[in-house]
Every structure is written in structure tokens, then in C-alpha cells.
Structure 1
Amino acid sequence: MLPEVSDWLRRRSWTAAERPLEALLTAKRAAGPAGTISVVLPALDEESTVGGIVRVIRRELMERLPLVDELVVLDSGSADGTARIAAEAGARVVHRDEVLPRLPAVAGKGEVLWRSLLATSGEIVCFVDADLREFDPAFVSGIVGPLLTDPSIHLVKAMYDRPLETDGAVVPAGGGRVTELVARPLLNLHWPQLAGFVQPLGGEYAARRSLLERLPFPTGYGVELGLLVDALELAGLDALAQVDVGVRHHRHQDGQALGRMAATIYRTALERLDRTGRLKSGQDLVRPLLTQFTRDPAGREFTAHTHPVGALERPPMVTVPEYHRR
């Protein structure tokens, strides 16, 4: 590990308990408008979990302690009761297609995160995945803490244990398969300054609006890697940090979905290597298709299924006219 990464780990890694809630509230009040916090839950068919997350945030971080100013569920076209349940639990629900309607939306998590900058007003924006179970408010308070107490920090990722829970069995450190097989090797090989991040692909992170509005957002699963790499380039390693918030329990994807996720993340990394001149000029970056196989119902042969590997990105929000007129 690079000496600067070892030093970064020592100075920029904390636990949530190191910043008590009352201390955060004091820091928030002292920060004034710069301390306003928006929490965004990107959601697609998460009716079984989104309500519980919203209720915990409202009860613990808005009513019991007024730390969070705005709680928004950005619905990405759910076909179930996600929007209704989130609203009943106390969130403001915004549909993806209602934000920047002149620009047709595309599918993908990064798309709704990008649009959420137009649907929120806080100077600190905190993203939380909507499929978490046994939700702890430290997933929010822990990662906004450094932003409230240290003006030199601009982005904070949550770190946590990620057990793999499937078919009644629990593998304590079995989660985060795409992180371990794809993202971590990519970061270690090409962006070794980011090698210290425990959960580089984690969906729980907070950042200053002044940083997020200047970053391009990959529209799909590559958004977490893309934002982290671009934040390093724009703000520098010392502006990034991570906070231990405990254990993350969530829904796990099947193997083929993980394969599509991995391909998208890999292509996101290649785009950034090319953008910074680290690949040969004019070289084809990637075949933007991923072929996977399933066995036919009779069990005799495999059938090929080819999926596009998306790379569409939205421009920095600061360049969008509607953002300035909101």
C-alpha cells in the first residue's frame, strides 16, 4: 500500500461513535446554510424495506434530533407500492420522470442520483440504498458527521461488514462479490490512492453539493466507482474519508445480475482511463455487450443472452439551465 494511503487511513477513517449526535447537531447549527442535509433514497420496487428506512430516519434524525432537513425517495419507476409506502412513512416522494422532464430518463441508479440534485436543496447530500434491512440511523449520521465537523472533507463513504445471507445461510464476509472481484482490483491497479476504501461500491455515502454538481454521473451501476474516481481527480485524496457504521443487511442479486453490474463497472473504469489519456489514443475501449448463458427448460443446452453494457453519463448538474432556475 502506498505510504500516502496508509497515512490517509489513519487520518481519514473513523467510526460513527467518534462523533456523538449532540456534537453533530452543534456543528450543524454553527455551519448555518452550509450544514443543511438532504437524504436521498433511490428506489425501484423496494416496498418491503423503504418504509422502515424512512421511519427510522424521520424518528431518529428529524423528530428526535433535527439533523436531517429533507428526506426524499426518488422513485425510478416502481411497479409495486414503493411510492405509496414511502410517502405514508413520511418521505417526500419524487418520480424520476418528474425531474428535468425535457430530457427523457434512462434506466439506472446513477440516473436517479443525478436527477436528485435538482429535486433537493441541502448543501450536504446523503445517498442511502432503499433495500437495507435492520436499518441503523448511523448509516446517515455517521457519514454526514465528517462533513459537518471538517470543512476540508468533501465526500464520505460508509464502510461496514457485509454478510452474504441466502437460503437461510449466512456467510459473514461473503457479500460485496463485485467489489472484491472487479472494483477492488481495478482501483488497486489503476487508482492505488483509493485502495484504502473498504466499500468503494457501497451505496451509502454523503458529499457536498459543491462537489457533486461538478461531477459527471454514470447512469447505471458504474456510478459509485465513477464518482469516487472523479472526486479523487477533482478534490484530491485528502478531501475523501470513510466511516464505520456497523453491519449492512440487504437484498442480494443473482449471479447474472452481478455479471452485468461487473461489466458496467469495468467499462466505467475504462472510460476514465481513456478520458485521462491513460489508454492509447484511438484504441477501441470495449465491446459494449455482455453475453451470458442459461440452460433451456429441458436441461439439454445453453441459450445465449446478450446485454448492452451502458456508459451514458449526464453532464455536471451545474451546466444544466434548469438547475440554476430552480
Structure 2
Amino acid sequence: MLPEVRGWLRHRTSSAADWPLRDLKAAKGETTVSVVLPARDERETVGEIVGVIRRELDGLVDEIVVIDSRSSDDTALVARRAGACVHAQDEILPQLKPMDGKGEALWKSLAVTSGDVLVFVDADIRKFRASLVFGLLGPLFADSTVVYTKGCYDRPLHGTANGGGRVTELVARPLINLHWPQLAGFVQPLAGEYAGRRSALERVPFLTGYGVELGLLIDLLDLAGLDAFAQVDLGSREHAPQSTEALGRMASQIMLAAWSRLLRQGKIESCHEPSVRLAQFRRGPDGHDILLRDVGIGERPPMITVAP
């Protein structure tokens, strides 16, 4: 690990317990905070998350916005009844051709929120705690040079205290250590819980799909430098585990995100576009069936460049 990363870890890593809610409310001042939950078919958890934020973070969070990403269930209704402002992903900036995936929902949230600071939280978290939000705000309120905070946590899975995060360990972490060693200090580089200043988030592109978290780390590093990042230990986080097939699709999009940034930064040369088709196999009655998946990702430009 680079010496500067070791120094960053000591200097810029804290715990949610280091930022008592009472102190954060006092430090908030005129800064406004928007919490954004991208949600697709998350009726089982989204209402509880919104309710916890409303009850426990009144006076700290100014708005809670759910971006409904084409849910087939009543996620939007549940979120609205819990007190969130709900927007359908495809109805935001309707003059633009719709794109798919989580990154699209996060990018579009910039157009319908007003906070100086945005906190992004996944909508599938079980046993949600308010500290998953307010812990991320501590470094931003304490130091104006910090523009982006990333959560880290244990990932319980099948009775193992930290058995989750398989795509991180098998794909994202090796890629980061190989090509962006300044980012090697992030414990959970793909964490869905993070916060940033609007002034920074509006100046970087957003990859769509599951490449968004890796893309933001790389692009914000270029924009602001490592010392503008902070990391907060949020304890633990539980959500429904993904199937191996789903993790394979996620890993493919993260690899495509890395390829796009390596190409943009001149670290690789390419005379052809990478394939965006993923062949997976599932055993059927007559042997192995081939499943062909489109894992392509798109990219939205910095929001500051988009006309209202």
C-alpha cells in the first residue's frame, strides 16, 4: 500500500460513533441535506428506512427522496406513505432518452433534490439504523475540504460475520490495487452508502448500472484528490444476498466501468469496444442451458452541463 494511502487511512477514517447526532445538528448550520434512495421492487424495506430517517434525523435531514426505478411492485406507494418524496426515474428530465440501472437513478436524483449535501443509501437494507446516514455527514460537516465520504461496514452472510462483498473481493479490489492504488484504502469501495457535496457530484459523470460506485471514486479522485475523501465505519449492514448469476452480471459491469476509465485516462489502448454480452449457464432437463445477458453500461455527463 502506498505511504500516502496509509497516512490517509489514519487521517481520514472515523467511526459513526465519533459523530454524535447532537453535535452534527449543532454543526449543520445552513447546510441542507438530501437523502436519496434508489429503489426497484423494495417494498419490504423502503418504508422502514424512510420511517427511521424521518423519526430519528429530524432537524438534520431536510428531504428524503426515493427514485423509483421501474418497480413492478408498490415500492413507490410504500415510500410515499412513509413520508418520502417519490419520483419515477423515467419522468425526470424526460427530454433525455432513458437509460437503465442504479447509476441512472442516482444521476437523475441530482435534478430533483435541493440539498447542498446528498447522502445515497440503498433501499434494500434490513434492520436499518439512522447511523448509516448521519455517520457519513460527520467528516463533511467537520472539514470543508472533504467533498465525499464513503461508508464501510461488515457484511453478514449465512451466519458469517463478514461473508458478503464477494464482488468487491474478487473483482473491484484487485482492479483498484492494480490500476488506482490511491484508492486501495477503501474497505468497501462498492458500498451503496456514501455522501458528497453537490458542488462536486454535479461536476463528474455518472456511469449507469452497477459501475456507478467505482466510476465515482475514480472520477472524484481526479477532480479533488485523495485528501478530499473520508471513510466512516458504519458497523454492519444486512441485505438480501444476490444469486451467483446476479453477482456475475454485477462483476461484468464493474469490469466495464474500469475499462472505460482506463481508456479515458490513457492507461490502455483499444481499437475495439469490449463485448457487453455475458454468457452464463444454468442446468436444465437436457443439460446446460445458455443464458445470454446484456451487461452494457452507459454514462451520463456531469449534471452541471445539462440544460434544465
TM-score (norm 1): 0.93
| CA drift at 1:285 | 5.0
Q: How does 1:60-71 map to 2 (within 5 A)?
A: 60-62=56-58, 66-71=59-64
1:208 paired residue number: 197
Please give the alpha-carbon distance, in whole angstroms, between the structure 1 residues aligned to 2:161 and 2:17. 22
1:52-92 CA-to-partner distances (Å, cap 9, x unmatched) read 00000000001xxx000010011001111111111111111
Q: Which segment is superposed worse, 266-275 or 308-317?
A: 308-317
Q: Secondary structure at the match of 2:210?
A: coil
Cα root mean square deviation, aligned: 0.9
Q: Which runs of 5+ in 2 are unaligned?
A: none
Q: Which runs of 5+ in 1 are unaligned?
A: none
2:36 paired residue number: 40
1:276 paired residue number: 265
| CA drift at 1:50 | 0.3
Q: How does 1:129-168 map to 2 (within 5 A)?
A: 129-165=122-158
Percent sequence identity over aligned pairs:
58
1:232 equivalenced with 2:221 (yes/no): yes
1:49 paired residue number: 45
| CA drift at 1:288 | 2.1
1:305 paired residue number: 291
The answer to whether the 8 A contact 1:270-1:285 is kept is no
The answer to whether the 8 A contact 1:271-1:285 is kept is no
1:290 paired residue number: 278
1:157-204 CA-to-partner distances (Å, cap 9, x unmatched) read 111000113xxxx12211001000000000011000110101100100
Q: Which consecutive aligned stretches of 4+ in structure 1 deviate over 4 angstroms post-superposition?
A: none
Q: Secondary structure at the match of 1:49?
A: helix
- AA at the equivalent of 1:162: R
Equivalent of 2:115, from 122, 138, 152? 122
1:83 equivalenced with 2:76 (yes/no): yes
Q: Which segment is superposed worse, 262-271 or 104-113?
A: 104-113
The answer to whether the 8 A contact 1:110-1:223 is kept is yes
Please give the alpha-carbon distance, in whole angstroms, between the structure 1 residues aligned to 2:273 and 2:233. 36
1:185 paired residue number: 174
Please give the alpha-carbon distance, in whole angstroms, between the structure 2 residues aligned to 1:102 and 1:85. 28
- AA at the equivalent of 2:276: P
2:27 paired residue number: 27
Q: Which segment is superposed worse, 305-314 or 134-143?
A: 305-314
Please give the alpha-carbon distance, in whole angstroms, between the structure 1 residues aligned to 2:240 and 2:206. 24
Aligned residues: 308
Please give the alpha-carbon distance, in whole angstroms, between the structure 1 residues aligned to 2:107 and 2:138. 23
| CA drift at 1:283 | 3.3
2:98 paired residue number: 105
TM-score (norm 2): 0.98
